Amino acid sequence: MDIVLSQIPSEAYQILCAAGLGLLLGSERAFKRKAASIRTFALLSAGSALFTILSVMAGGGSTTVDTSRIAAQIVSGLGFLGAGVIFRYENKLTGVTTAVMIWFAAAIGMACGFNKIPLAASSVAIYYLILIVGEGIHRISRTKRDLDEDDD
């Protein structure tokens, strides 16, 4: 088993970590029955990691030579993806959280691609903390707003 594991390039672990963390991100969207969910976020994170790894390799292994150009293009391209999931119907705007999560999943993948896996993992933990706390605050504010409207 050690022989097989030692033959796998470290980049494969980086991509696997990105996919795993993307899977965690997408599981929340799947739980809420959103179209972009587990597979989307796992592939998005893994793809971002791969692009980042390739840009580091193209720069001769240096993390300072032109690698920011690929990173900038990833972020730029995701702007179009994110815009595609935002919809407005009457006065209601939907898809904003999913759009932000697409951007976030790419950042997680890029962190893994730069071999900053602890940073990526802790960012996913912070992400879940924000979602949990944010959901609670959102419910409280919505309830308060509904009560205030009843008073009018």
Give the pLDDT confidence of 98-148 residue by residue, as tens digits: 888 888 999 999 999 999 999 999 999 999 898 888 888 877 877 655 555
Q: How much is the mean pLDDT over the chain?
A: 80
Q: What is the pLDDT of residue 36?
A: 72
User: Do 113 and 52 meet the contact criterion of CB atoms below 8 Å apart?
Assistant: yes
pLDDT digits (tens, 9 = 90+) for 21-37: 999 998 887 787 777 77
With beta carbons less than 8 A apart as the criterion, state whether 42 and 26 touch: yes
Say which residue, 94 or 130, is predicted with more confidence: 130
The three-state secondary structure class of 34 is coil
Higher pLDDT residue, 29 or 1?
Answer: 29
Closest C-alpha to 105, from 32, 34, 17: 17
- The residue among 85, 129, 122 whose CA lies nearest residue 107 is 122
Strands (E), the chain: 87-89, 92-94
